[in-house]
Amino acid sequence: MIPDTPTIVQLSHVISQAAAPAFLLGAVAAFIAVLISRLNRVVDRTIVLNAIADNDPTKSRLKTDLPRLLRRAAMINRAIFWAVISSITITLLVIVAFVSAFFGIRHEHGVALLFVISLCAFTVSLIDFARKVKVALSEFDHFA
């Protein structure tokens, strides 16, 4: 049995509450795009370095950068993972808000918990990204 349809006032209240998570979702999506771009650069550089022949004396020294590139790729991969987790929890937050409004269920605690989880996952993603940037800047491409 479906309860009475929410009033316009109830729906507008839920929509106004969902605006902040929607903006956060947009920011996280843009951050994921940046992370994927950075990962693509690391992968492209790795492909170029792997294409260098081992018997090429002038360029084989460039391959010493491969372990650092693999570390950077792993950090970016973790950052992408946590950013996606953040996006999923934000999406769930909006869904829970609308569904609970539709059924007239109190949702404040659940939405607050999902928001905190989302921000924690986003924070972990930012930390992994900062670590990756630190590695990229502290160990320059000496031979490039």
**What does 21-62 look like in DSSP terms, one character per residue?**
HHHHHHHHHHHHHHHHHHHHHHHHHHHHHHTS-TT-TTTGGG
HSE-CB at 127 with a 13 A cutoff on CA atoms is 7
d(CA 128, CA 29): 16
Average the pLDDT over 9-34 and give the result. Answer: 84
Residue 109 region by backbone torsions, left for phi larger than 0, else alpha for psi between -120 and 50, else beta: alpha
d(CA 38, CA 129): 10
* 45 pLDDT more than 60: yes
- The DSSP secondary-structure symbol of 112 reads H
* 40 pLDDT more than 60: yes
- The DSSP secondary-structure symbol of 64 reads G
Tokens (6 digits) for 54: 């081992």
pLDDT tens digits, residue range 110-144? Answer: 888 999 999 999 999 999 999 998 888 876 555 44
The fraction of the chain above a pLDDT of 70, given in percent, is 90
Weakest-pLDDT range from 6-10, 22-26, 104-108, 122-126:
6-10
Tell me, what's the pLDDT at 4? 66
101 or 91, greater pLDDT: 91
d(CA 81, CA 75): 10
Q: What is the mean pLDDT of the chain?
A: 85
Tell me, what's the pLDDT at 42? 92
